[in-house]
Amino acid sequence: MNIRDFIEKKGIKISEISKSCNIPYATLHDGFDNPDSIKATNLKKISDYLGLSMDELYKLLSFKNNSLLSILIDQKKSNLKGNIYHYTQIKFTYNTNKIEGSKLTEKETRYIFETNTLFQDKAITNVDDIVETANHFYLFNVMLNHADDMLTEAMIKKFHGILKNGTEDSRKDWFNIGNYKSLPNEVGGKKTTPPTEVSKEIKKLLNWYQSISEITLATILEFHYRFESIHPFQDGNGRIGRIIMFKECLKNNIIPFIIEDEFKAFYYRGLSEYTREKGYLNDTCLMMQDKYKIVVDKYVGPLLK
């Protein structure tokens, strides 16, 4: 059922919506056939008048590009609560930071996102937890804007610069936010690519990835394992790697996923055992994908296979 069918069934005329919502008739008439042209503020007026949630209205309008990416971008513009964009921002930011040791709760993460202010019911123990939470909200928006673009070194470095901007690390000359590491690091007790070899290895990784004609979830997980093995940045590698996975899933019309903190042991096992058994990482990500798909279906209906 599209929007025209819906209002006809309800006995509502376009002229009535136009008058009640103070939206020109021509805007509605043309917009119902070309929904991308309707402003977010007018969409909110229409949804309120019809007694629909924004997600229900999106379905009826049948956006020409009815992908999860297009819906996330449209909902980002609307700046409303209670939709898949709102859910994803909070859930993704909370979990990806929590995995790396953030002390913020999901409730506190939600509060920062919704109010752009700090909570007052407990002492702040680590300012960087706050900064990186706000940075990740912005990073997610930037990622959405570039989700359809080819993954490049410049993009990956930009993502890192956004994530670490304004943190204590950004005030250390040797840290190189938005650029590759200058000092050796390790992950899970294993040595990673030496700083002098990082640029070459990232270029090699991107060349391999871009040579593949059909990107699948398995390809994205392979990229993620190789990226984390290189560990190109001094810090923030896990979060950058996970947002790259989300981006590439959106670009290739694959249901993305959020690695939840309570399953981080399985996620880490999947990475550490990847060369011996790829199934551990694959199974963990498939489980996270199934969980996210339930939420997507709840908010916007079954969009993707």
The pTM score is: 0.81
Q: How far is the C-alpha of 141 from the C-alpha of 122, rounded, in Å?
A: 28
Structure letter (DSSP) for residue 248:
H
- By C-alpha distance, which of 128, 186, 136, 196 is closest to 161? 136
Residue 8 pLDDT level (bands cut at 50, 70, 90): confident
- Identify the CATH number of the domain defined by range 3-64: 1.10.260.40
Q: How far is the C-alpha of 72 from the C-alpha of 279, rounded, in Å?
A: 30
In three-state secondary structure terms, 191 is: strand
Is 84-300 assigned to CATH 1.20.190.20? Answer: no
Structure letter (DSSP) for residue 190:
E
Q: How far is the C-alpha of 274 from the C-alpha of 272, rounded, in Å?
A: 6
Residue 90 is inside which H or E element, if any?
Answer: helix 84-99
Helix 153-164 crosses helix 237-251 at what angle (to 10 degrees)? 130
Q: Is the pLDDT of residue 154 over 60?
A: yes
Q: 124-137 in b/e burial notation, b at 16+ Cβ within 10 A?
A: eeeebbbbbbebbb
Per-residue pLDDT tens over the stretch 155-165: 999 999 999 99
In three-state secondary structure terms, 188 is: coil
Residue 135 exposure: Cα atoms within 13 Å on the Cβ side: 23
C-alpha 9, offset from chain centre: 37
pLDDT, residue 155, reads 98
Per-domain residue ranges of the chain: 3-64, 84-300
Token pair of 66 as six digits: 């009815």
Q: How far is the C-alpha of 15 from the C-alpha of 23, rounded, in Å?
A: 9
Cβ-contact 206, 152 below 8 angstroms = yes
Residue bearing the bigger pLDDT, 112 or 118: 112
Cβ-contact 68, 303 below 8 angstroms = yes
Say how many C-beta atoms besides its own lie within 10 A of residue 304's C-beta. Answer: 15
- By C-alpha distance, which of 296, 212, 199 is closest to 257? 296
Q: How far is the C-alpha of 285 from the C-alpha of 258, rounded, in Å?
A: 8
Burial environment of residue 44 by CB neighbours within 10 A (0 to 12, 13 to 18, 19 or more): middle
Residue 31 pLDDT level (bands cut at 50, 70, 90): confident
Token pair of 211 as six digits: 């040579």
Q: What is the mean pLDDT of the chain?
A: 91
pLDDT, residue 121, reads 63
Q: How far is the C-alpha of 114 from the C-alpha of 255, rounded, in Å?
A: 25
Residue 304 pLDDT level (bands cut at 50, 70, 90): very low
Helix 237-251 crosses helix 217-230 at what angle (to 10 degrees)? 160
pLDDT, residue 126, reads 85
